[in-house]
Amino acid sequence: GAGVSQSPSNKVTEKGKDVELRCDPISGHTALYWYRQSLGQGLEFLIYFQGNSAPDKSGLPSDRFSAERTGGSVSTLTIQRTQQEDSAVYLCASSLGPAGGDNEQFFGPGTRLTVL
């Protein structure tokens, strides 16, 4: 079946512009995660959605970052007034159930964001 998909695959924007990144999780997966990976670095947790529960937003680096998940499926990560330090690969993942335990996180291909 289809895996996690993300769009766009690449995004180049100018400093100060807003961007929206989209994630389509695997059908039926209740949990969805956003991570950020800068060059040569590990994954930085941003936000976690689980079913109808309030999302865990503890990883969002500033109030310029927000995310929503509509209908328990598609998620959009929005970065307002982008800065050069926002340049990174933004990865989305989903899992069948809550994070941890036997619920493997499957990753999408990522969106490479470049802020000029």
Partner 1 sequence: QKEVEQNSGPLSVPEGAIASLNCTYSDRVSQSFFWYRQYSGKSPELIMSIYSNGDKEDGRFTAQLNKASQYVSLLIRDSQPSDSATYLCAVTHGSSNTGKLIFGQGTTLQVKP
The residues of the shown chain that bind partner 1, judged by CB under 8 A, are 33, 35, 40-45, 48, 56, 58-59, 91, 97-105, 107-110
Q: How far is the CB of 100 from partner 1 (least distance, A)?
A: 4
CB of 64 to partner 1, least distance (A): 20
How far apart are CB 55 and partner 1 at their closest, in Å? Answer: 10
Q: Which of 3, 7, 5, 21 is nearest to 104 (CA)?
A: 3
Name 114's bridge partners: 12
37 beta partners: 43, 89
Nearest residue (CB) to partner 1, 39 versus 70 = 39
Closest CB 81 distance from partner 1, rounded Å? 26
User: Closest CB to partner 1 among 18 and 68?
Assistant: 68
Which residue, 72 or 109, is less far from partner 1 as judged by CB? Answer: 109
Measure the N-to-C terminal CA separation of the chain; round to a whole number of Å.
37
Q: Are 93 and 32 in contact (CB under 8 A)?
A: yes
Q: Which is nearer to partner 1, 17 or 53 (CB)?
A: 53
Beta carbons within 8 Å of 103's beta carbon, 6+ residues apart = 31, 95, 96, 97
Q: Which two tokens stand for residue 60?
A: 């969002």
